[in-house]
Amino acid sequence: MRFKKTALWAIIAGLLTALALTGCTGKILPVKCIGVDADYISILQWEGVMYYDDTGPDPAPLGKGKEIGKITYSKSEQKCPHAGLQDGDATNLKTGTLLYEVEGYKTSARLWAGDRLYEARNNPDANTLNDLLDIEGKIQTVRFVSGNDGSDLMDFTPEANAVFIREFPKLEYLPFEQLYKQTKGWVGDKYWLEIEMTDGSSIGITYNTLSPSFNPSAYATPELAELVEQQRKLIYAQ
Predicted confidence (pLDDT) per residue in 140-170, tens digit: 999 999 888 888 899 999 999 999 999 999 9
Q: What's the mean pLDDT in 74-81?
A: 88
* pLDDT over 50 (residue 59): yes
Edge to edge, what strands does the sheet with 213-215 contain? 152-155, 139-145, 190-197, 202-208, 213-215, 218-219
Average pLDDT, the chain: 85
Please state, in angstroms and rounded to a whole number, the distance separating the CA atoms of residues 9 and 16: 10
Please tell me the pTM assigned to this model: 0.84
User: Which range (31-40, 116-125, 222-231) has the least confidence?
Assistant: 31-40
At 4 the pLDDT is 46
* pLDDT over 80 (residue 203): yes
Please state, in angstroms and rounded to a whole number, the distance separating the CA atoms of residues 104 and 64: 9
The residues spanned by each domain of the chain are 7-237
* pLDDT over 50 (residue 73): yes
Predicted confidence (pLDDT) per residue in 42-55, tens digit: 999 999 999 999 87
